Structure 1
């Protein structure tokens, strides 16, 4: 519920106030966003229609690419449009919607990465029971739980935001609506709400990051029992996953697992995990995965 709120719209400061730099931002980020959509779309469609990519790993990769495309869409289009707009105005309702969608798809990406690490652990450490444990029914149930968990996280974030009264300045020192910049504008003591945000988003980032590294530590330790070929293939797959995890989690932990403090570098860090990582993920998974590249080449060459 909106409480004592006299602000109906916000003004986004964007990445820069320089007119020339804003034109460069428009060109660069339009290209990056379109490349992100194309790369993730290719992976989604390849997994959807390929007959060879039917293992649980590619089932989860399908949802990771979908979450990447949606996650990037929550911020990139507004950044691109605002870079050529005189007034970077966003309404209160649009701001709340952006916060919900941003945290929903960001949390979905976190949960899918955890599911992918569980899948790799079962495939490498429990190979004889892998097909039984990671059945299609189990994988579907896990993804459904990820959707529900993401929704709960986003609802918690948006309910905290709706409690904030805004009665004065309405300039958000960012290029999209997020909790931390909005707390600076609230007409109340935000210490308790900030603790809730750090506990919510920060804990999810930190705990899942630790869980992922523990799981991959077990996986890498178990590779000693594998054959040379199996060790090489497993190591290649796990290396891709670890790269993705580091690229996504380190900026997120820097942003959300700390008290309310705004740093000048925050905007560039946000650019990296909202626009850069969704583009790098499909590149990492395709360039380092011969099976995906072969399936993509075979499927699209036959179609075109």
Structure 2
């Protein structure tokens, strides 16, 4: 490579540029999670992954909250309803399918950094176990110090994005129990203290509209990446994240099953579908 650079007609290609950028990033310890951004981009190139363009449309007003649903393989971006001002409570969701290679936080970074660049974000922070390990944050006090330091650093910038790997940071406890109704599985949040902290920070996102020039407004984005279905439902409910139309329809269906009285065609008695465990009226 060094010999090639002495040639007058030598041009640095994209692969070589990424390798050089990766070397420099490692030298100065500029990591996102456990890897450098050039290394992630280089891996996609070497794997033959088609280069994709990720953009946030300027046609919408964003709330600054994004949830990545790895279980259903989609990303949900919360926006203010069209033709409404940011002070209006009417919210809706933009939902996009993830690509096949976007299966974890590391592979999502190309998309998220592209979103950040699109919105002129000056700092992107990834909060995951790799960060805690790099800071030797093994006890609760050190964990909180690390989380607070990273959040305060984001708050110091007019435009920032903080990404939480919720499965790694919080986790889920599952337990099984047997009864005469069969086996049931119950789930609960494992690390409640960190979960509560992330909830508060996720609500603290700021999107200002005080300047005529959009580039001058403060934007502090919060992104939660979640794979576990229980944790996803619980988190979205606790932060009051806007539901998709499909989720609203499913919720309405569940409400009807829990409340509506149905009449049995055989015995003419009334029953509630959710309480009809054995397929017979109660």
**In which range does the TM-score fall when normalised by the shorter chain?**
under 0.3
Q: When you count helix as a share of all residues, which structure comes out higher?
A: 1
TM-score, normalised with respect to structure 1? 0.22
Q: When you count strand as a share of all residues, which structure comes out higher?
A: 2
TM-score, normalised with respect to structure 2? 0.23
Structure with max Cα Rg: 2
